[in-house]
Amino acid sequence: MNNRPPVRDHVTTEELLAVTKSTRDTLYRWIAIQLLPKPRILTDSKGQYFAAWSADSLDRVRFIVGKEREGLTMDDIVALVAGRWPLR
C-alpha cells in the first residue's frame, strides 16, 4: 500500500508565501520583472478559484530569497534567474 501523497504539478500561493515571508504583491511584482512565470488559475472541488504556480516556482522563490539575503541587487537576481530558468 502506497501512503505517499499524490504528486502535484503545481504549488500554491500559500506555499510560496511561507518561503518569502512576504505578500502576494511581492509575487506579482516578481512576475512583472520576469522572476516568476504567471500562475494558472484553477478551481478546487468546491468551485473556488486559486493560483496554481508551476512546480519549479518553489525552487525559484527559495533561490530569489537566498540571493536577496546575500545582498544581490534585483537586477543581478533577474539575470541569474533568466540564466537558470529561462521563461518559455
Q: What is the pLDDT of residue 10?
A: 87
Region of 2 on the Ramachandran plot (φ > 0 left; ψ -120 to 50 alpha; else beta): beta
Identify the helix (H) or strand (E) that includes residue 66. Answer: helix 57-69
The pLDDT of residue 59:
92
pLDDT at residue 5, rounded to an integer: 58
pTM (two decimals): 0.81
The three three-digit cell numbers of residue 79, written as one number? 539575470
Average pLDDT score over residue span 5-18: 82
DSSP state of 56: T
* pLDDT confidence of residue 88: 60
DSSP 53: E
